[in-house]
Structure 1
């Protein structure tokens, strides 16, 4: 009796403990229900983000093929569809392999946690029990389905330029297609050097200008790296293509002429030639504009960052396009007709193509489970903070796509399908002229190419193609396509843009600009000094002549 009594003494029969034991199964079921609900809600959102552009592409495909089937022989059409079937099977295989791996990796990890939690519950051991396990699953699912998307939307006031705030930028000029803004320093103690060498930044067309003002408040902004050094900094921004007919029908020639107009305005204000600075696709159009000859006397230096100079050298997108049956490698399958009848390239679909080329890593469930693992807490459900950088990147990818003029899209399309010739001639013409890299050397234009060593969108070989034809200064940066505009735009980073880095002392783009300005100022001072000396010699000569005449 004493033993039994002693044993009973060890049991905790408190009301609180009894209530917890009774309610625990109910809480486990409730947690599991919540986790399942948010799990499928989140999964649906990720699937919709992928399926929506797919349905758009099907609509375009059907419209184009309805017309082409009437003008193409049945045998050719059959062969093309068989080739397309083979291509689709290859994409589907990669899609399934990537998806199955992501599903397996996540659920294998959680299955181990579930088994351990079950044993901890049954054997009353320390560690995560079923109640804590299901609570953690519910928390993670809620983060992915609700909290994470909200965090992404909440970053909007901190992301990008916000030109409506005149303290950030001033509208300096405009054309029928573009606005030109002068970007002001975020550090209000810094004054713009009005006599400094100006830089004009051309952002990418597809994903817009705001990636170049990533998080100014966090000192992660490519454009503000220039402005905060007192450099006169300008950026060319597209007008709304949906409401701007002139932009909808824009050609490469229009791009060059608008750039010329802006450069004339900038040079007239600051008295120095402009450095033309293109990021990604903006770099390719910048080079084409310079090679056209329209910017002669206005631009004396080029800066291109992660810009595709010869898309046919791309191991990713170019290879993807080459595997696509020739009949379907056509911009018509991505062309949107606007209510006014003008045709533009669908920006949503263009972004989707980049996902297709890396489908094993960008399939919707792969991204979903990648985010699930990122937002899971290793400490069993502790608080996880979503970094502003991660939120801003996702906001940019989700909200900054825009449609493109077909004329500009055709230039990029040609660059990924037609290689540069042996003598350095591009597959693009402007004003009926051939564009050749050698013209840059002939005109004495300084050029710095910056590229990402692990860029899988614009690979090193694609960005450095001009080196086969002319001498060009280069600067390699670690990481991928947007690192220069994000990580390395922080002035305190290891590869800060205003510094020289590495054993080779590669120059960042801002350092390049500052050095150009210093060299130009030194030349101007030398010219002024020489002119003063000549005037002094002339005055002395005239004085001697007068003196001799008086004698």
Structure 2
């Protein structure tokens, strides 16, 4: 009898405890429902935001496309136009399929994991188990979405004060100027370091498309390509393109203008320091630097060259060649990226050019894919608040806000280099001053050349960067990571591949594993009077 009474008593106590917990369940479920409603609103806002940012250049491209097609349609037979448009439609479908397939895969993987977390939180709620309950789970997801959609973009905008060049804040001095460019000296961040006035000067040439700021990434964080040179006491100079929106001379400039202005700057630096200049081009700036050298305009002024992730023969870029091979020949025309300024000058829209590169890599650049990628970057299940690193914010500031419009003639040179291969004898597909340009001339000039490439560069791959090795000798340094890593990750002096050091990195193409950073290369030239170096024969 007592046992029966005890059993009934225990059952009643369990029921009472369960009833007592019902209001807590209801509260958590109600809180979770409110969190889900807010999350849904932010989620769909994010989908629209990411899609709109991706598609914004499309409207500019569509206008240029329509204007050019009005002319081409009149000059082409109707059947040819119909065939070209069908091929273009097929091309668009292929791109869309690639983007959608990867997006669905990413979204499926993300939501499958989230479903597991949601079910675990639901069980924890109803069984009063330890661990995250449903209210905590939905609150974490709400905060994650708010971080990605609202907080992160603000951090990207706010990093502007620390990112890139701020010539008005000190640390730089303008030493020369033309109608198109300004030349600034970069001073050491470490006040204890003195610039060697008798040192070997280096002039750094940034890319046109994404500007110069990537080369002064985060100086206060000790991540700055240009300051890696200056902090070693090297006389360091950066060539800055004037604002294309307000400078007609930039809007209409040609390759000849670039070469003449470069010659003028090199004359100033050689006179100032009494030594020939090292020319250092990053990405597109490297290609332009080689063109200028081969033109003969810099003879007697430059005796060393450094190129970083620079395309020497764009037709060897596997991913871009594959992309262009599917595009009908009719539409391989730079005119589709042109825009006309209020003064009538035509320039190439930088956002459209950046968009083309996104289409090339649509598998990882599709708007919804990038949204989920950002979610995963900040998603933490350990309860700790996610952190927004300054590096991530600065990289995205570069990608979002540093696209620059480009002079038409300068873009045409790069366009030709990506559509016409270097000839079998080493002649480039571009000319300036009416002169043929051949890689072999660098050997005749006695130019010492260091080529720095990114092992995982998906913008300028290894074959495009090293094309000149078929014709001349150059030293090669292979850096881990991708296109911007030399200016970001490896510009930190304490990094594994610091620019002022020699480091060991195994390359798939070369037997040698020891590489010299570009700053080390410049220091060795400076200290040994240029009579140094080892080469890798292509």
- TM-score w.r.t. structure 2 length? 0.94
Task: Give how far 1:5 is off.
Answer: 5.4
Alignment of 1:108-127 (within 5 A): 108-127=112-131
- Structure 1 Cα separation of the partners of residues 378 and 235 of structure 2: 42
Name the structure 2 match of 1:394. Answer: 396
Name the structure 2 match of 1:405. Answer: 407
- Structure 2 Cα separation of the partners of residues 468 and 152 of structure 1: 42
Task: Give how far 1:44 is off.
Answer: 1.7
Question: 2:30 is paired with a residue of what secondary structure?
Answer: helix
Between Structure 1 and Structure 2, how many residues are aligned?
Answer: 521
Alignment of 1:62-101 (within 5 A): 62-101=66-105
- Structure 1 Cα separation of the partners of residues 57 and 488 of structure 2: 27
Name the structure 2 match of 1:130. Answer: 134
Question: 1:303 is paired with a residue of what secondary structure?
Answer: strand
Name the structure 1 match of 2:200. Answer: 197
- Structure 1 Cα separation of the partners of residues 167 and 22 of structure 2: 61
- Structure 2 Cα separation of the partners of residues 223 and 346 of structure 1: 27
Task: Give how far 1:123 is off.
Answer: 2.5
Name the structure 1 match of 2:514. Answer: 505
Question: 2:286 is paired with a residue of what secondary structure?
Answer: helix
Return the index of the structure with the highest Cα Rg: 1
- Decide which of 181, 186, 189 is 2:189's aligned counterpart: 186
Alignment of 1:394-543 (within 5 A): 394-502=396-504, 504-520=513-529
Question: 2:245 is paired with a residue of what secondary structure?
Answer: helix
Question: 1:302 is paired with a residue of what secondary structure?
Answer: strand
Task: Give how far 1:12 is off.
Answer: 8.3
Task: Give how far 1:21 is off.
Answer: 4.2
- Structure 2 Cα separation of the partners of residues 54 and 522 of structure 1: 52
- 2:47 paired with 1:38: no
Segments of structure 2 that go 5 or more residues without pairing to the other structure are 505-511, 533-538
- Decide which of 264, 269, 278 is 2:272's aligned counterpart: 269
Task: Give how far 1:121 is off.
Answer: 2.1
Task: Please tell me the root mean square deviation across aligned C-alpha atoms, in Å.
Answer: 1.9
- Decide which of 217, 231, 234 is 2:234's aligned counterpart: 231
- Structure 1 Cα separation of the partners of residues 26 and 530 of structure 2: 81
Deviations 1:62-114 (A, max 9, x none): 11112221222111111111111121111111111111111111111111112
Task: Give how far 1:278 is off.
Answer: 0.1
Task: Give how far 1:318 is off.
Answer: 2.5
Task: Give how far 1:42 is off.
Answer: 1.8
- Structure 1 Cα separation of the partners of residues 16 and 143 of structure 2: 30
Task: Give how far 1:511 is off.
Answer: 0.6
Question: 2:194 is paired with a residue of what secondary structure?
Answer: coil
Partners of 1:250 and 1:405 within 8 A in 2: yes
Q: 1:78 to 1:425 in 2, by over 3 A?
A: same
Task: Give how far 1:347 is off.
Answer: 0.1
Partners of 2:525 and 2:531 within 8 A in 1: no
Name the structure 2 match of 1:259. Answer: 262
- TM-score w.r.t. structure 1 length? 0.91
Deviations 1:384-421 (A, max 9, x none): 11111111101110110010000100000000000001
Name the structure 1 match of 2:385. Answer: 383
